[in-house]
Structure 1
Amino acid sequence: MSDRVCVGAIAGAFGVRGEVRLKSFCAEAADIAAYGPLSTEDGSRTFEVTLTRPVSQGLAARLSGVLTKEQADGLRGTRLYAPRTALPALPDDEFYHADLLGLTALDTGGAELGKIAAVLNHGAGDLLELRGPGLKGSVLVPFTRAIVPTVDLASRRVIIDPPEGLFD
């Protein structure tokens, strides 16, 4: 597991005074500003985040060191990371998406189905995107306790009991 977790991304400039539009990946969108300074993926830049207001599809915010619209536009697409130590502990049946990526998916008989390439949520619950050599493209698996009864982070695997026809 990484010592940092992606908590959001910069969607571009908001206005002409250096504010940015943030897309928060936190359960509570405003929590993105509560985890201390956020850093870029490569760690080369760190930003203090001050939320200014909710906006369509995100939050408007000021980032330390970003003073102009051009600087804000230049950060479009930048993913923001918080130190894992700043994040709250999760109950046993909840997981950070970043911790699921790359886990091996096995069926209930122990046969490998693929690896988790992404965790998606389009509004109706989380989906695990599986990819693997035996799959034709990606397979989306609902991330429910009935279908994914076991998540073993220590062994880097999940057990999936897929509905009939999902892997056909």
Structure 2
Amino acid sequence: MTPEKLVCLAAIAGVHGVRGQVTVKTFTEEPGSVAAYGPLQDEEGNSYRLRLKGRKKGMLIAEIEGVKDRNAAEVLKGKRLYVKRDALPQPEDSEEFYFADLIGLEARDNADRLLGHVSAVYNFGAGDLLEVRDETGGERLLPFTRDVVPEIDLDQGRVLVDPPPETEAGSGQEDEEKNAPKT
């Protein structure tokens, strides 16, 4: 049985005031829609119902049901808040998808060789990256661009990948060490 896919919609960034309100960083297209999907949950499965109260410096201010004071709100700082994938609307365009839909897809090259499975999607500030994990547990990060990932087929459960040479299996630290001059 596979666990239900969860999509991270927000994170509790801090505390606002003394009555238990929090500041929330949202990852939704429209920040205010974060509360429209019903209760959110954290990684442990705890449920949180948000009531939006305002905005502050690009974040939302929210009350969380059951949180009445600053001390209780402080404990929640850093919590990531998720919703079940099936609670989100289906993308309108066939070219649109949620990153959560990519997790678990086969990553195949142009010769239809299995490179591994998509295990995560990251963005460290310089663009999106796909993490592909092979059968041995080896991982590689690939730029998530149309050149490197020219095709996504959710129905077939795969992505076509044309990895740049520097991300090919076997390239990396161990190759650098092998080719380093001996002293």
Contact 2:5 2:100 (8 Å CA) reproduced: no
Structure 2 residue identity aligned to 1:139: R
Secondary structure of the 2:8 match is: strand
Which string of whole-angstrom CA distances, capped at 9 and with x for unpartnered residues, describes residues 15-61 of structure 1?
322111222121333331232332334444231331421336x4322
Secondary structure of the 1:71 match is: helix
Which string of whole-angstrom CA distances, capped at 9 and with x for unpartnered residues, describes residues 59-111 of structure 1?
32222221111111122333222344542331211221211122221111122
Aligned equivalents of 1:51 and 1:163: distance in 2? Answer: 47
Structure 1 residue identity aligned to 2:18: V
Contact 1:52 1:62 (8 Å CA) reproduced: no
Aligned equivalents of 1:85 and 1:100: distance in 2? Answer: 14
Secondary structure of the 1:88 match is: coil
Q: Which residue of 2 aligns with 1:68?
A: 69
Q: 1:164 to 1:88 in 2, by over 3 A?
A: same
Q: Which residue of 1 aligns with 2:55?
A: 53
Aligned residues: 165
1:31 paired to 2:33: yes
Larger helix share, 1 or 2:
2
From 93, 96, 104, the counterpart of 2:95: 93
Structure 2 residue identity aligned to 1:154: D
TM-score (norm 1): 0.80
Secondary structure of the 2:24 match is: strand
Contact 1:48 1:64 (8 Å CA) reproduced: yes
Aligned equivalents of 2:5 and 2:140: distance in 1? Answer: 29
Which string of whole-angstrom CA distances, capped at 9 and with x for unpartnered residues, describes residues 93-143 of structure 1?
1221211122221111122222222211234432112233274xx422121
Q: 1:155 to 1:119 in 2, by over 3 A?
A: same
The structure having more radius of gyration, on CA atoms, is 2
Bigger mean CA deviation after superposition, 105-114 or 27-36: 27-36
Question: Residues 9-158 of structure 1: matches in 2 within 5 Å?
Answer: 9-55=11-57, 58-90=59-91, 91-132=93-134, 133=136, 135=138, 138-158=139-159
Structure 1 residue identity aligned to 2:98: Y
Aligned equivalents of 1:72 and 1:108: distance in 2? Answer: 50
Distance apart, 1:151 and its partner CA? 1.6
RMSD (Å) for aligned C-alpha atoms: 2.5
TM-score (norm 2): 0.74
Aligned equivalents of 1:63 and 1:2: distance in 2? Answer: 24
Higher RCO by CA contacts (8 Å cutoff, separation 6 or greater): 1
Aligned equivalents of 1:86 and 1:103: distance in 2? Answer: 21
Q: 1:160 to 1:3 in 2, by over 3 A?
A: closer
